[in-house]
Amino acid sequence: MLNDAKADSMATTNKSQHRMLSAQQGMFIAAHDGQFASANVTGWLSTPGSNQDPSMFTGNTSASTPTQTVDWITPLLGESLGWSDNRALRTQQLLDQVRDPRNSKFTDGLFLGSGASDSQDFVDAFVLGGYRSVSYLAPATFQY
């Protein structure tokens, strides 16, 4: 009986999150000439170059700045959910608060890639609270 109640609760939470994301995406589309929230629309440039300043996206920026190129959720919900200006903490909030409720797994480690200037922030957040595994980030090919 308890398992049924838990499953019903998780299904309701999942439906509520889906409705919230759909509504926010609809508002974003209406405000941005019919474009979906994606890296190319929200400001995260896909190709580094002389016109891209990494400090625009790393470290402390804003609650609505995408955390990475596959992040379409933060521009929609970051401000309204009161997420951190710090990218590492915002990533943690994204993976924790907007996820499939059945996804309770935490990542085993970090991949720091090319060593962004805020890599230590990610290490600190990982040590203090960890990162849940990904639920709703969009495939990179969807963004372009």
Write out pLDDT tens, residues 57-98. 889 999 988 888 778 888 888 998 999 999 999 999 999 998
Six token digits for residue 72: 């379409």
Q: pTM here?
A: 0.70
Q: Residues 18-62: pLDDT tens digits?
A: 676 677 777 766 666 777 666 666 655 555 555 567 777 889 999
Q: SS3 breakdown of the chain: % helix, strand, coil, rounded to 5?
A: 45, 5, 50
Neighbours of 132 (CB within 10 A): 18
d(CA 82, CA 144): 28
Q: How far is CA 86 from CA 16, 18, 29, 119, 125, in A?
A: 27, 25, 26, 12, 10
Q: Provide the residue ranges of all domains of the chain, joining segments of one domain with +.
A: 2-143
Contact 67, 92 (CB under 8 A): no
